[in-house]
Structure 1
Amino acid sequence: MNSSDNTMNPAVFLHRQLTVDGVFLHVISAGRPDKPALFFLHGFPENWQAFEAVMSGLCNDFHVIAMDLPGIGKSGKIASSDKRTIAGYVKGVINALEITDVTLVGQDVGGMITYAYLKSFPNELSKAVIMNVGIPGVDPWPQIKQNPRIWHFQFHNIPDLPEALVSGKQRTYFDYFYNTIAAKPDRISDNARDAFAEAYTSADALHTGFEWYRTFEQDEKDNVITRENQIQTPVLYLRGEKEYGKLDLYLDGFRASGLVNVQGQIIPGSGHYAPEEATDEVVTFLKEFMTETKK
């Protein structure tokens, strides 16, 4: 199996619209409902399809689930984009699906939501995976914010201006990120890039994507409040080899924040968009993590 040519066996995906607190959410699933569930949460500037190839690689052994985050793609918008609020909607989806053996897998903003879920609903998840992201208020967050390579944090935080400049140019703007923070930009196909741009076409969706950054200050406050909560849930932190920053700094920050059962792995040759850049490797890491002794 070679992730570079997307030769994974195609999965049969079930698409549905679930209602959580009056909001329609686009939820996608495949695989075996009798098996443990892996629930994938995408980041910026992507939608659920960021995990499509990974889900195809896991669906023979697990119940795989993904969603368009609230406000993105085919999911309805919500009033606030802070990560604790979004985690509440993720919990609503889990409850609606009536699944109990759940591992959340979050990439980028999805990783922030996974962390918020762990802290908001302690020890409810079977396991959790956080991938290629720093967490607001958790070391090394101060260094991340000061890194000039992360210029877009400040730009996206400006009210209204990003929407005005990016509207109608989503594909061009998003391509910048795929081409600069991926180690293997060619692994993010033109079709995928078109789909991601389409998911942010509406004014509400584009606004939602930038609001994820504008709520970082609230996320920091929420995460400081919950820092003392000791979380026993096994957590795997995955980081691309070509990502900026040392893995151990992130692991130390997680442990100091109360994740007492966290381990880390480097994804060889990958940059920020590991589910597409290193599909096979991500599938392998997830399978290994899922088959480890449960809590």
Structure 2
Amino acid sequence: MLVQTLEAGDMQLAVSTAGDPRRPALILLHGWPHSRKIYDGVLDELGTRYFTLAFDLPEIGESRGTPPSAEKKVLADIVISAAEALGAKSIVVAGFDVGGMIAFAAARHHGGRIVGAVPMNTVIPGLHPWTKVVANPSIWHFAFHAVPELPELLVTGHQRAYFDFFFDLLAGRPEALTNEMRETLTQAYARPEALKAGFDWYRAFKQDAEANAPARIEVPILYIRGDADFGSIDDYLEGLRMSGAKNLQGHMIANCGEFLPIEAPAEFVKALVEFAPR
């Protein structure tokens, strides 16, 4: 595994890479409140088959610089462009949580630049069952995080305790997220700029939903979900079909919640290898 920093306009993006750049590329994206470190345990194995790149999203972890927007189509463009600058070709974009929203945005808005997208354990803004999910009181944090300034005020200094609540809630096996990993992810949001960047992802959901209006999507999409996560995969597949996805597959991973690369690394790798071109 090689760690480097790329210039991306006014930003610097931290990326961990593995594998030969001449191979087809696989971009791995984290969500909230995670960093690229969530993929450390699977990066080298995936690198035996692909040129694998795990990014810290702008301002998170070791990345620096505020993106032009927190809209997912903008973030998709940023990471795809950074990967292309490293020579990536035949790119598949995969991610979970907010990273999954970005993976879908890559297919929806940048389909000519990638060959596949893998959104995982996420609901896509504007796509069924979006309305149902945001109305669920268990998903209260979507609305809270979208409030200007207040989440930063209340969470600053309490990141670890706040994040632990979500780690325990969303994991099928919370013990899989070790204390070391939890501390690493917490430190990725220690800076005020990082915390704001994470909440800004939620503040952009309205624009994301508008941008995700139905359109014909030819890029192959694999939607993966852990069976311990909220909701049935069938609802999410229906939403993707209604959005215009013409080449869609679904895959369930047993005994797993949101944190697929940590809770079920072997199954996670297998699902990607079976989908992505080699």
- The reply to whether TM is greater than 0.5 is yes
Report the Cα distance in structure 1 between the residues aligned to 2:69 and 2:225, rounded to whole angstroms: 28
Aligned to 2:40: 52
| Residue among 216, 224, 230 paired with 1:244 | 230
- Give the superposed CA RMSD: 1.3
The one-letter code of the counterpart of 2:212 is N
Is the partner of 2:22 in helix, strand or coil? coil
Report the Cα distance in structure 1 between the residues aligned to 2:8 and 2:104, rounded to whole angstroms: 20
| Residue among 14, 20, 23 paired with 1:32 | 20
Which one is further off, 130-139 or 48-57?
A: 48-57
Contiguous gaps of at least 5 residues in structure 2: none
Is the partner of 2:33 in helix, strand or coil? coil
| Residue among 137, 144, 150 paired with 2:133 | 144
Q: Is the 8 A contact 1:123 1:232 kept in 2?
A: no
Report the Cα distance in structure 2 between the residues aligned to 1:50 and 1:250, rounded to whole angstroms: 24
Q: Is the 8 A contact 1:123 1:231 kept in 2?
A: no
Report the Cα distance in structure 2 between the residues aligned to 1:123 and 1:222, rounded to whole angstroms: 17
**Residue 33 of structure 1: how far off its partner (Å):** 2.1
| Residue among 13, 18, 28 paired with 2:6 | 18
Cα distance per residue 1:117-175 (max 9 Å; x no partner) = 11211242111111000000011111011111111111111111111111111111111
Aligned to 2:245: 259
**Residue 94 of structure 1: how far off its partner (Å):** 2.2
Is the partner of 1:75 in helix, strand or coil? coil
Q: Is the 8 A contact 2:106 2:117 kept in 1?
A: no
The alignment of Structure 1 onto Structure 2 pairs a total of residues equal to 277
The one-letter code of the counterpart of 1:242 is A
| Corresponding position: 1:282 with 2:268 | yes
The one-letter code of the counterpart of 1:249 is D
| Residue among 191, 203, 207 paired with 1:218 | 207
| Residue among 186, 189, 205 paired with 1:197 | 186
Aligned to 1:3: none
| Residue among 248, 252, 255 paired with 1:269 | 255
Report the Cα distance in structure 1 between the residues aligned to 2:170 and 2:220, rounded to whole angstroms: 28
Aligned to 1:232: 218
**Residue 97 of structure 1: how far off its partner (Å):** 1.2
Report the Cα distance in structure 1 between the residues aligned to 2:270 and 2:74, rounded to whole angstroms: 31
The within-5 A match list for 1:93-132 is: 93-132=82-121
Aligned to 1:9: none
Report the Cα distance in structure 1 between the residues aligned to 2:191 and 2:148, rounded to whole angstroms: 17
Report the Cα distance in structure 2 between the residues aligned to 1:155 and 1:180, rounded to whole angstroms: 17
Report the Cα distance in structure 2 between the residues aligned to 1:120 and 1:72, rounded to whole angstroms: 23
Q: Is the 8 A contact 2:229 2:257 kept in 1?
A: yes
Report the Cα distance in structure 1 between the residues aligned to 2:150 and 2:110, rounded to whole angstroms: 35
Using the size of structure 1 for normalisation, the TM-score is 0.91
The one-letter code of the counterpart of 1:256 is M
The one-letter code of the counterpart of 2:255 is G
| Corresponding position: 1:74 with 2:58 | no
Query: Percent identity of the aligned residues?
Result: 40
The one-letter code of the counterpart of 2:31 is G
**Residue 58 of structure 1: how far off its partner (Å):** 1.5
Report the Cα distance in structure 2 between the residues aligned to 1:36 and 1:54, rounded to whole angstroms: 17
Contiguous gaps of at least 5 residues in structure 1: 1-12
Is the partner of 1:193 in helix, strand or coil? helix
Report the Cα distance in structure 2 between the residues aligned to 1:283 and 1:248, rounded to whole angstroms: 22
